[in-house]
Structure 1
Amino acid sequence: MKTIPLQARKSAHRSRYLWLYGRNKRHGRIAERLEAAQMVLPDTSRCWAMKELARELWSRRYDEQSRRLWQEWIAMAKDVGVPLLSSAARTLRKRLYGILNAMKYRVSNGNAESLNSKIRLLRIKSRGYRNKERFKVAVMFHYGRLNMDF
């Protein structure tokens, strides 16, 4: 950022959240500020364009072309010349099978992750249990959706 002239830096200042807006939510002043930031920060602009393209790929319906489109995106991301984007492309290439399955079946492990987080917090709050059996009982009591109507 220090290599950018002072006036250009001022136009790009505080543009962090502008890059997160989707295409359908950029209007008026936001669109103007984003255009100015794109001129000043070309690498960020390229990464943002790739993010938007990935967003479109993710929101598509799964079909036979999905794998090919993701592979094209990965190749483009490597060619952009931004090291962090190339690293993200390598990670996506490794995880492409899981990404395609998530697109195909539209299932998530979010509920399991949430429960694991709650169980971890229960363990931390309790400062330990005497044995595993008591810990299991505590988990079932707090998160097992037990019917307590007697």
Structure 2
Amino acid sequence: MAIKTLSMDMNAGYIRAARIHLPSAVEKIAFDRFHVAKQLGEVVDKTRQNEHPHLPVESRHQAKGTRFLWQYSDKWMTESRQEKLMWLRAQMKLTSQCWALKELAKDIWNRPWSEERRSDWQRWLALAANSDVPMMKNAAKTIGKRLYGILNAMRHSVSNGNAEALNSKIRLLRIKARGYRNRERFKLGVMFHYGKLNMAF
């Protein structure tokens, strides 16, 4: 059976291997949205850390311990948290700028697929490239180079979610077994529990 899509993170080694071994790789590589979101979330957090010491003393105290406010999804954003975030955005302009770009990227990911998404991302890249934050500019360069895989992921609605869930189960299996005597026994254990073997006689 031919491979239709290959979901992965944006690691250069993975991309290089896929291009070597997978025909028409650029049309099939799909970058997992959560790795893109993680990269942008890290830009927001590092910008917050850099900006925090430069706040006035009183604002610095009030902004302490607010890391997760910049990362909450909508369902966890209560009215009081929204008010606090609005206050933070007024105090921390650079972090606010990065947060807005992160949220815009999330909004683009959530839109139904059409070829217009390419234009949406290109507009996002232009905004990020003109950011006042060097880390965001660097993130935009990375995302721009990997845009083909982001569009493939949106077009085919694929992610690493199932594979990463299976990896978590396999790690838990190893912990429960307190290790395996050798690699072959470990492989047999994985196949027995998660290989969907037909055990009927």
Please say whether Structure 1 and Structure 2 have the same fold, judged by a TM-score greater than 0.5: yes
Q: In 2 relative to 1, CA 32–114 (structure 1 residues): closer, same or farther, beyond 3 Å?
A: closer
Question: Higher relative contact order by CA 8 Å / sep ≥ 6: 1 or 2?
Answer: 2
Q: TM-score, normalised by structure 1?
A: 0.80
Structure 1 counterpart of 2:18:
none
Contact 2:98 / 2:136 at 8 angstroms: preserved in 1? Answer: yes
Which amino acid in the other structure matches residue 12 of structure 1? A
AA of the residue aligned to 1:2 = P
Asked if 1:38 corresponds to 2:89, the answer is yes
Q: How many residues were matched structurally?
A: 147
RMSD: 2.6
Residues 170 and 190 in structure 2, CA contact (< 8 A), matched pair in contact too: yes
**Aligned-pair CA distance for 1:16:** 1.3
For 2:56 and 2:150, how far apart are their aligned partners in 1?
A: 41
The range that moved more, 49-58 or 8-17, is 8-17
Instruction: Could you tell me which runs of 5 or more consecutive residues in structure 1 were left unpaired when the two chains were aligned.
Output: none
The corresponding residue for 2:182 is 128
One-letter amino acid matched to 1:109: N
Distance 1:81 1:145, change over 3 A: same
- State percent identity of aligned pairs: 50
Kindly indicate whether the alpha-carbon contact (under 8 Å) linking 1:43 and 1:82 is maintained by their aligned counterparts in 2.
yes
TM-score after normalising by structure 2: 0.62
Question: How far apart are 1:113 and its partner, in Å?
Answer: 3.6
Please list the CA deviations of residues 125-150 of structure 1 after superposition, one character each: whole Å capped at 9, or x if unmatched: 21533xx5x55433322321234466
Q: Is the 8 A contact 2:70 2:85 kept in 1?
A: yes
Relative to structure 1, the CA distance from residue 140 to residue 19 in structure 2 (aligned partners, 3 Å threshold; closer, same or farther) is same
